[in-house]
Amino acid sequence: MAKLVGAVFSGLSALSIEGVEDAGDVIVVRASTTGDAVACPGCGTPTGRVHAFHERVPADVPVDGRRMLVRLRIRRMRCPVGECTRQTFREQVPGLVERYQRRTVRLGEQVRAVVRELAGRASARLLPKVGIAVGRNTAVRVLLGIPVPDHAVPRVLGIDDFALRRSQTTPP
């Protein structure tokens, strides 16, 4: 059973999966972080002192065309350095969930790929069909958040095309 859960939920390999619940049109995975020491984001000192627990519920990629939510139990850690600016902090799961996001990284990549190709309304119509609940405004916000690729600045700029008046291609 553990191998099956590991294969189906391979994107959650950094977590300890505690259970899977079938809630009709949604699959809920209960998971928690491992008990390893975490580096403080303020001073970098590793700590294993747990201050409290916190639950996040990010959406993950659909399974069998149904939405999947991850009930993620993370630890709020206490920094051992008294002079540190960060007294407590929440541990982060790199590569799985970014700060302030309600989607996993891999679900965000899938949404960005569809939105990049189809833009706003078309992607908002397609994504729910494959099990990803995204509205039109969210699709547009994701599209505007995609960084524009840098273009090389030309080294030489020619001024051969010149017109003193509109619609003329050559000077008089």
Q: Which residue has the higher pLDDT, 94 or 50?
A: 50
Question: In whole angstroms, what separates CA 141 from the centre of its chain?
Answer: 14
Q: What percent of the chain has pLDDT over 70?
A: 85
Q: What is the pLDDT of residue 154?
A: 78
Of the candidates 67, 69, 48, the one whose C-alpha atom is nearest the C-alpha of residue 58 is: 69
Q: What is the pLDDT of residue 55?
A: 92
Q: What is the pLDDT of residue 71?
A: 93
Q: What's phi and psi for 133, nearest 5 deg?
A: -85, 105
Give the C-alpha separation, 144 to 54, whole Å.
31
Confidence of residue 170 (pLDDT cuts 50, 70, 90): low
Q: Which residues are bridge partners to 31 per DSSP?
A: 17, 72
Give the C-alpha separation, 111 to 126, whole Å.
10
What Rg value do the Cα atoms of the chain yield, rounded? 24
What would the pLDDT profile of 106-143 be if each residue is shown by its tens digit? Answer: 899 999 999 988 887 888 888 888 888 888 888 888 88
What would the pLDDT profile of 28-61 be if each residue is shown by its tens digit? Answer: 989 888 878 888 888 888 888 888 998 999 998 8
